[in-house]
Chains A and B, each alone.
Chain A
Amino acid sequence: MELTAEEQAILAGDQGPAARKAMEILVALGTIYGAQDLVPVSSVQVAGVSYGNVGQAGLEFIREWAEEGARVKVPTTLNPAGMDLEAWPEMGVPEEYARPQLELIEAFRAMGIATTCSCTPYLLGVRPQLGEHLAWSESSAVSYANSVLGARTNREGGPSALASAITGRTANYGLHLDDNRQAQLFVDVKCSVLSVADYGALGYLVGQRAGDSVPYFRMFTGRKPGLEELKTLGAAMAASGAVALYHVEDVTAEARLGGVLGKDVSSITIESLEEGYEALDGFGQDIDLVWIGCPHASLAEIERVADLLRGRTLVADLWITVARTVLQSASAGRLAEELQTAGGRLVADACLLGAPLREMGFTSVATNSAKAAFYLRSLQRLEVRFGSLPQCIEAAVTGGWKP
């Protein structure tokens, strides 16, 4: 690999032991994946933030790097944690879990990382531009940045993302290179795809067939998908498959520029979403918990929930997971209060996929997120109903699922 003089100096330890190790990680990854050099990144999204996931091992490592003086060189944000970092006591999170979780966040903060914990950094003022190189973790955020924004990032793990944050660089391979951003699978969508749940079902179906290739969608409907539909589509394909980049004709950044669809690609036709709904939706009649916000909800999604709820009270629990900055906007606009009056709750900083939902007494969950439905079943073995947002809110109001 070709390294600049500055990169070689970091590798020699000129910027301290943590920066040296960070550079070693990038050079090793570059060597393994055949990179010719490193490229500067404009932002980093770090995974491995939930204590329940990284455990004592992760905490000790992050703390050591922070104590060795590791500081980030580019704007860096965090993935969701295992709990709401402020409201955890009232949510029944045990203190022996909460304490190391808070210590972990403090160690990240000491490195200069913004401790807004969210899977949607692109909703929080981090807006990468077309062609910008990034080092992001979190499969749904990686997909959004690559596809919708046209920025360039591989799917990073926790340590490799941190290494990029500390050095301001990443190894130049994979989706950083033009050739690997070409579509390899043409998806002809012949049925109408309207709601967020529809886009999730579509993503589930295509992710299964696409594996880690790059799909190109031609949509049947006239209405173009917006932010919420696209984040759901990408999240679902990264769950049922390993899609890190997709194109939608006339919609996503590079598809609008053209030239991403070659002639000799394999193709599939989607005639109906039924198979996707069947795979994601279960059979439970009673609903304990309705979860909206996977990936984290936008302000517009919270407003939609509040509109559907207006004047009604809830039988089941209703949780909307959000970034803390979105919670603050919602609180300022009294949306949070409105939801709370009805019996709902905005949960900040956290991802429920890592939360001990069974231990918290939940057995059946309804959601409009295909990614959430997919993982709640496979990881937590919960009874899951999957459907549109109005269906989910109806379930929260009545405590039962109506097909």
Chain B
Amino acid sequence: MFKELDPLLHSQLRLAIMSLLLSVEEADFVYIRQKTGATAGNLSVQIEKLSEARYIDVRKFIDGKKPRTVCRITKTGIDAFQKYVDALKGYIG
């Protein structure tokens, strides 16, 4: 029987964000935008959703005069990602 795919992760941009963050220690909003090619507005919304689910930890601060947003995947996020990949394997066989 197929396991249900986590709807929060089964979205192109959110999955891209999670995959990127899984591969690095932490990443700036600008870096994620460069790598995913998403618009700033859409990216903000998806980051907010992942943060609300506690899949990622978002740190906002002022660096000199520049506002910065730095994201990092959480233990909950890693577990959810692992479950998502396990479920995917079931579909692809």
Q: Do A and B bind each other?
A: no
